[in-house]
Structure 1
Amino acid sequence: MLIIGMLLILLLIAAWQDIRYYRIPNILVFPATVTGVLLHTLLPQDMGGLGILFSLAGLVVGLVALLPFYLLRAMGAGDIKLMAMIGAFVGPASMLVITVYVLLAGGVWALGIILVRGRLSRLLENLKIMLLMHFADPSNASFSASTTLPESAGKLPYGVAIATGTLVYLVLNH
C-alpha cells in the first residue's frame, strides 16, 4: 500500500506540472524512479517489495512502451521518463496493461482537447496529408528533417493521460 500510495501522489504532481508548464521535471521523475526501485529492493514481500529485478524490468518496459512516439516527435522525453518511473513502481506485467490504458486515455484526452479548442478541422487536414503522402509513395511516407511539417493540431500535456491510465489500472486492480 505504501508503494501504491507514493505512486499516486507522484502521478498527481506530474500531471499538475504537465498541465501548468507542459513539462514533467527531472527533479521529480529521477528521484521517484530510484525510490520505486529501492522500495521494491528493501521492503519485505509482505509489505509490497518484489525485488530489484521486478522493479528494473518494469522500468525498462515503461521506458520502451511509448518510445516510438517520442522518436516520432509526438511525445516529450518527460512522458517517457514518467512511464519508466511508473514501471519501477508496478513491474513489467502491470506496465504492459497500464500502457494500453494510457493510450486509451490519451486518445480520449486528445480528442476532447481538440474539440474544446476547435482544432478538429486541423487534425483532419493533417491526417489527410499523412494518408496522401503514404499512398503517393509508401516507401517515403515519413517526414525528413528538411520537410516542412503541417501546422500542429495543438499541444497536449500527455502526463495527464499517463496519470489517468495508471489511476484507472490501479483502481481496477488494487
Structure 2
Amino acid sequence: MSLQHCLVLTVATGAVWMDLRTRRIANEWIITAWIAGLVTQLIRYGAAGVGIFLFGMLFPILALYILFYFHMLGAGDIKLLSAVGGFLGVPAILKCMIVSFLSGAVLSIGIILVCGNLPQRLTKFFNYFQTYFTKRKYQKKTEPVPYYDGKWGMECIHFSVPVLMGVLLWIGGFY
C-alpha cells in the first residue's frame, strides 16, 4: 500500500470515527487532510500537482452544493469528499462519489427495510420538497427546512461511512 493510500485511508477512517462520536467532522482534520493532499500531489507530480489537488478538492464542493443547500448532505461530508478529492484528483473522486452514493443507498435501503418504515420515509422525502416549493411560492426568501430533523433513528446514516467504503474500494483497485 502506497503512502497516498495510507493517508487517504487515515483521513477517511478518522472522519468516520469523529462523525460517529460527535455527528461532526472537525475542520482541523479537514484542513490537515487538505495540506497532506497538496503535499502528496506536489511530491508525485511537482508543480502540476497543485492543479490536480485544486481541481480534485473543488470538484466535490461544486458538484454537491445543491445537496448541502437542501440540507440533505452535511458540510462535513462534502469537506471530507473534498479532502479525499485532493488526494485522488477529479476522475477518481468522481468515481469515489458515485461509489459512495451507491454504497449509501444500499446501506440506507437495508436499514429502512430492517426498520420497516419505507412508506414513512418516502412521505417525508416528498413532503420535504413540497414544503420547500410551497414556501418559496409565497415568500420572497426561502431557507430550506433541514431534511434531518432529529426525529428519526438510524435511518439517517453518517455519510462518512459510505465515503470510507468508496475509499476502500479505490485502494482495492475497483476503480
| Amino acid corresponding to residue 37 of structure 1 in structure 2 | L
What number of residue pairs does the alignment pair up?
Answer: 166
Conserved in 2, the CA contact under 8 Å of 1:62 and 1:85? Answer: no
Q: Partner residue of 1:114?
A: 112
User: Can you give the 5+ residue segments of structure 1 that lack an aligned partner in the other structure?
Assistant: none
Asked whether 1:61 is paired with 2:62, we answer no
2:67 and 2:37 map into 1 onto residues whose CA distance is 24
Conserved in 1, the CA contact under 8 Å of 2:60 and 2:78? Answer: yes
Equivalent residues in 2 for 1:94-133, closer than 5 Å: 94-127=92-125, 129=127, 133=130
| Amino acid corresponding to residue 62 of structure 1 in structure 2 | P
1:35 and 1:27 map into 2 onto residues whose CA distance is 12
Q: Partner residue of 2:160?
A: 159
Q: Partner residue of 1:32?
A: 33
CA offsets, 1:123-164, max 9 Å, x none? Answer: 032245368x49xx8x96xxx448798966543211111111
SS of residue paired to 1:66: helix
Q: TM-score, normalised by structure 1?
A: 0.79
C-alpha change, 1:149 and 1:27, in structure 2 (3 Å) is closer
1:149 and 1:168 map into 2 onto residues whose CA distance is 29
| Amino acid corresponding to residue 19 of structure 1 in structure 2 | L
Q: Partner residue of 1:72?
A: 70
1:63 and 1:148 map into 2 onto residues whose CA distance is 19
Conserved in 2, the CA contact under 8 Å of 1:44 and 1:50? Answer: no
2:168 and 2:37 map into 1 onto residues whose CA distance is 17
State the 1:118 CA deviation.
4.1
| Amino acid corresponding to residue 158 of structure 1 in structure 2 | F
Conserved in 1, the CA contact under 8 Å of 2:37 and 2:86? Answer: yes
State the 1:173 CA deviation.
4.5
1:101 and 1:150 map into 2 onto residues whose CA distance is 22
Q: TM-score, normalised by structure 2?
A: 0.78
User: Can you give the 5+ residue segments of structure 2 that lack an aligned partner in the other structure?
Assistant: none
